A = this chain, B = another copy of it.
Amino acid sequence: MESPWIGENHKHEPLLIVISGPSGVGKDSVVQSLKQRNQFLHFVITATSRAPRPEEVDGVDYFFVSNEEFQQMIKDDELLEHAVVYGEFKGIPKAQVRDALASGQDVIMRLDVQGASTIRALAPEAVLVFLTTTSEEELVQRLKARKTESPEKLKLRIETARQEYTRIEEFDYVVYNREGQLQQAVDVILAIIQAEHHQVKQRKVEL
């Protein structure tokens, strides 16, 4: 009888992890902190047609492209996912994700809820994380603290967040990013990644 010892045959499948959730819950901060704490993850760089903010670097924070360039990428089917977010294009270059997974790296991407839903349809084996505040009130306070939001924009974001909440069943995990407890949220995401790698039936992502 051949030895069925799993340790000798257990294939380590790289994960495709989507950090999503309503605008204002802290997706950027969580992803930044994950980057600092785990060197083995591949962080997807999003392409966007919006103008860079002063501190943002092309090829690091985003790939900044023109509206026309973005349209061409869509035509050439070079994007895994794309969406219009508050009037600007954002999208995930496909080759980048495939290459990272092929090299055995776990891939992390930050997406709005609609984008996460698109990834679910393309890659049912993706790990979808819904990041959130613990209450709507907490989200409103954070958006107000930004001071960049007009009352109309704020109202729109809250309405959108409410709609996004109704789609939480499409996600695998819910993680709370509590005020002043960013590292705890990151701890949970790292635990999720570790646990997923120990599933007997591993998720095999095919794009």
**Residue A13, interface by CB 8 Å:** no
| Contacts known (A191-B194, A195-B196); A4 close to B175, Cβ less than 8 A | no
In this complex, what residue of B is CB-closest to A199? B173
Interface size range of chain A in the complex:
35 or more
> Known interface pairs A4-B162, A5-B135, A135-B7. Does A194 touch B188 (Cβ–Cβ under 8 Å)?
yes
Selected interface stretch from A61-69, A98-106, A147-155, A163-171: A163-171
Most buried by B among A165, A174, A191, A194: A191
A49 within 8 A of B: no
Instruction: Report the stretch among A36-44, A89-97, A126-134 that lies at the interface.
Output: A126-134
Q: Is A8 engaged at the interface, CB distance under 8 Å to the other chain?
A: yes
Pair A130/B172 contact, Cβ less than 8 Å = no
Q: Which chain A residues in 184-205 approach chain B with CB under 8 Å? A: 187-188, 190-192, 194-196, 198-201
The reply to whether B165 and A4 form a contact with Cβ atoms under 8 Å apart is: yes
A200 is contacted by which of B6, B134, B168 (Cβ under 8 Å)?
A: B168
A148 CB, nearest partner CB in chain B, Å: 23
CB proximity of A12 to chain B, nearest CB, Å: 12
Nearest 3 CB-CB pairings of A with B: A195-B195, A7-B134, A191-B191
Q: Which residues of A are at the interface with B, using a C-beta cutoff of 8 A?
A: 1, 3-8, 10, 130, 132-136, 162, 165-166, 168-169, 171-176, 187-188, 190-192, 194-196, 198-201
Given contact pairs A3-B136, A6-B132, A169-B200, enumerate 8 new A-B contacts (beta carbons under 8 Å): A4-B168, A5-B134, A6-B130, A172-B200, A174-B198, A174-B200, A191-B192, A192-B195
